[in-house]
Amino acid sequence: MSGRWLSIIGIGEDGRAGLGTAANALIDGADLIVGGPRHLDLVGETRGEKMQWLSPLEATSTEILTRRGMPVAVLASGNPFWFGVGVTLTRAIPIDEMLVIPAPSSFALAAARLGWALQDTVTLGLNMRGLTPLLRRHVHHGRKILALALNGDTANDVTKLLTAAGYGRSKIIVMEALGGSRERIRSTNAKAFSLADIAPLNIIGIDVHAGPDAVPIPYAPGLPDSYFENDGQLTKRELRALTLSSLQPCPGQLLWDIGTGSGSIGIEWLLAHPSTRAVGVERDEARLARARRNAVALGVPHFDIRLGAAPAALADLPAPDAVFIGCGTSGGKVIEACWQALKPGGRIVINSVTLESELALLAAYHAHGGTLTRLSVERAESIGRRMVWRPALPLLQWVCSKPGEVA
């Protein structure tokens, strides 16, 4: 195709034998063939120069661009745009300069081996360090999950996570080198997992089964308070659900969580959609460490929590789509700093329990509008043999949207 000098070719474990005529011709005609060591071994001898991926991956894009206009072939596992390198390359090279020939992805091969409906199966990439906790939010009884592994130890990490959450009965299927001569499929359950000598290239199937002590993470906001390790600084479940409703998390949006405390608001914002982002600011080191532990335990290890005090700690943060303040407001200085940083169309939500911070909220309301709502919750508790209503501290919530068109 005219002008498409860069070809991205999906290749499986069966190597060139599994490629079509067009893909083989592009490899034979390329001056440069780029791929991982395994990909380059799979294609065998070539006329063109071979180059392994550089670290970071973006550096490879820069090197490829020096060959612009010359025939270059990039080799990728399966579908280059399904947890693949295709997206990385399109950040630097327009798609209309590429010819992409995908092969069946590992997920497609795994679903075919197991007889699972791929459209109804959760698919995850755990093929980077620190990502295994991302699995946690998807663990629900009856769900089926396919996860790309980082290495041969990933399956063991997955089974520990499942067992700790009360899902030790789940069936685990480890599928290695799918589509090639070394293909191997083994199964067990999470609690009894003892598989050894797992090849680095593997995909993990999980048929989730809950035990009597299972702890699911529901999709509605307002997780039980017991899910969060805390020292008392925690937005309680009922008020947290109302706060998340006011923040209105949407895909791709960024939250500032000022005075993160136990991290509950930022964590539930991130649980709302896989693409949401959150930056937390917390001035107490012990609380910051606790919030990070909560984030990992509840499946959002990417919660970016930073040590510092507002407003000074906000200076270099990317502009937010939403702001939550659940702590003191420094006489209104924090509110004004957040309002100025907030994107047009963005939302700010502040919860106040002290008279001093209520004065700051009232001033913000008169300056910017929005709504003021008084919220109170009472829970039934026992005193001796009788029950009484135990009120929580009443809370004043200010909610406001910044005028302007959403970018």
Write phi, then psi, for 322 (nearest 5 degrees).
Answer: -150, 150
Listed in order, strand segments (DSSP E) in 140-273 are: 144-148, 171-176, 184-189, 202-207, 254-258
Please give the distance of CA 213 from its chain centroid, rounded to a whole number: 26
The reported pLDDT for the residue numbered 407 is 62
Rounded Cα–Cα distance for residues 325 and 352 (Å): 9
Distances (CA, A) of 272 to 162, 248, 290: 21, 9, 21
Are residues 174 and 206 in contact, defined by beta-carbon separation less than 8 angstroms? no
User: What pLDDT score was predicted for residue 382?
Assistant: 93
pLDDT in tens, 15-65: 999 999 999 999 999 999 999 999 999 999 999 999 999 888 888 999 999
Q: Where are the domains of the chain?
A: 6-103, 107-207, 225-401
DSSP line for 18-69: GS-HHHHHHHHH-SEEEE-HHHHHHH-S-SSEEEEPPSSHHHHHHHHHTTTT
Q: Please provide residue 72's backbone torsions phi and psi, each rounded to the nearest 5 degrees.
A: -125, 135
Q: CA–CA separation, 298 vs 282, rounded Å?
A: 19
Is 189:197 a contact under the CB 8 Å cutoff?
A: no
pTM for the full predicted model: 0.88
| Partner residues linked to 269 by β-bridges | none
pLDDT of residue 232: 83
Q: Are 245 and 276 in contact (CB under 8 A)?
A: no
Give start and end residues of each alpha helix (H) in 44-153: 57-65, 86-90, 106-114
pLDDT-flagged residues of the chain (< 50): none
Determine whether domain 107-207 maps to CATH 1.10.1130.10.
Answer: no
Q: What is the pLDDT of residue 1?
A: 55
Q: CATH homologous superfamily for 225-401?
A: Vaccinia Virus protein VP39 (3.40.50.150)
Domain 6-103, CATH homologous superfamily name and number: Tetrapyrrole methylase, N-terminal domain (3.40.1010.10)
Strands 98-101, 122-125: pairing is unpaired
